[in-house]
Amino acid sequence: MNTERRDRIYWNLARHLDRLPGGFESQDPAVERRLLERLFTPEEAELATQLTLEREDATTIADRAGLPLEETESRLDEMAQKGLILSVTTEKGALQYQAMPWVVGIYEFQIDRLDDELLHMIHDYWLTRKPLERPTGPQMRTIPIGESIDLHLEVLPYEQISALIADEDRFAVAPCICRHTAKMAGVGCEAPEEACLVFGEWADYFVRTGRGRPIDNNEIKDILAHADAANLVLQPSNSQEAAFICCCCGCCCGMLLGLKMHPRPSEVVVNAFIAQLEPELCEKCETCLERCQVNALTPGLDHVVLNTVRCIGCGLCVSTCPTSALTLTRKPNYQGQAPARTFQDALRNIMEIQDTR
């Protein structure tokens, strides 16, 4: 393959990924090129640009790409195994294939391929990544832990961890890419690493490709209990039927780190809840200070101080408050729309927003 054609293939792939939800573009094209060459062979890169967010069988993709069916099937299966695309099994047992964004998608799927070289390439990419010029819909949201929700509080099913789990019949758990990469870099925390929960089709994919292991409902409850004890925030896919639930720490998680740097996290996070404080009930035990992952709580003279513009409504401070000085309530004038039914629908919606800007 000549240099000109190879350059064109990887340039096309970079632009293809940049058009997907979340974008991909780097301020340094050489950085994104090195990363893509590390992940995709030229043949895989060329085929990847033929996939969309719609799930299609190998025959359809082969026809579009102008490739023999057997070669296309083999290549698609290898790409799914490498975490470059998503493959799902239909009710009839056939495989379909779908393009995945860089985040949430390809990056997280590299959990089993990380080595020092790839880690440094990804680090260089994050340092040079261009901020999105076009606002898009969020891929994730925050939900409160169950123990923080008052029985009299109006809560919709997709806002409850128990309801999200009850709606699923297939579960898997995978290592957290954020804490894993942080530990590889020597700066990780002690929170549980095996804490990314995946459901349904995503669980099937993670198990089939060896990225996660199957678990049952009881183990999910154990993992969530350990996540709570480790002060982890629950962040599911922004859909009524969760594809995944990330258990996130404020020191390693890219999403929470971004929220911590924002001056008003409460206004950008997708969550219907916010903490409220009754100062006269506070005994200043300050347990909540350690629990909060976005610095919404600070020490005060007679009681802790809650900065509601920083609160993301995760409920971590509420569940361990011994005097119930902290409680959750719905955000004032909250006008949030119900999320898309599935994560695939959410990605489609984000693409529609991007295409109109």
Q: Which residue has the tokens 């909250």?
A: 334
pTM for the structure as a whole: 0.93
pLDDT at residue 160 in the model:
86
pLDDT at 131: 75
Query: 136: pLDDT confidence band, cut at 50, 70 and 90?
Result: low
% pLDDT > 90, the chain = 79
CA distances in angstroms from 294 to 14, 114, 134, 143, 258, listed in the order given: 33, 28, 25, 15, 10
Token pair belonging to 181: 């990469």
Lookup: tokens for 279: 């100062």
My answer on whether omega of the bond before 318 falls inside 30° of 0, hence cis, is no
- Give start-end residues of each CATH 1.10.10.10 domain in the chain: 3-133
What does the pLDDT look like over 195-227, one tens digit per residue? Answer: 999 999 999 999 999 999 999 999 999 999 999
Q: Please determine, for residue 134, whether its predicted confidence score (pLDDT) is greater than 60.
A: no
What is the arithmetic mean of pLDDT over 350-357? 75
Of the pLDDT bands very low, low, confident and very high (cuts 50, 70, 90), residue 234 is very high
Question: Average pLDDT over the chain, rounded to whole?
Answer: 92
Q: In 3-state terms, what secondary structure has residue 300?
A: coil
Res. 1: pLDDT tops 80: no
Count the residues in the chain. Answer: 357
Per-residue pLDDT, 163: 87
Residue 357: its pLDDT value, please?
55
Mean pLDDT of 14-34: 94
Candidate CATH numbers 2.160.10.10, 1.10.10.10, 2.160.20.10, 3.40.50.300; the one for domain 3-133: 1.10.10.10
Higher-scoring residue by pLDDT: 202, 136: 202
DSSP code at position 134: S
Lowest mean pLDDT among 57-66, 162-171, 283-292: 162-171
Contact 342, 241 (CB under 8 A): yes
Q: CA nearest 294: which of 322, 321, 274?
A: 274
DSSP string, 254-273: HHHHHHHHSS-GGGTS--SE
Residue matched to tokens 């629908």: 345
Rounded to the nearest 5°, which phi and psi values hold at 224?
-65, -35
Per-residue pLDDT at 296 exceeds 60: yes
Percent share of the chain, pLDDT over 70: 95
Q: Residues 27, 128: contact at Cβ < 8 Å? A: yes
Crossing angle between the packed helical segments 3-19 and 29-39, to the nearest 10 degrees: 100
Residues 6+ apart with CB under 8 A from 229: none
Backbone angles phi, psi at 70, to 5 degrees: -60, -45
Burial class (CB in 10 A: 0-12, 13-18, 19+), 70: exposed
Residue found under tokens 């005097």: 323
Residues 28-42, mean pLDDT to the nearest whole number: 97
- Residue 333 CA to residue 267 CA, distance in Å, equals 12
| Whether the predicted pLDDT of 151 surpasses 60 | no
Report residue 124 CA to chain centroid gap: 20
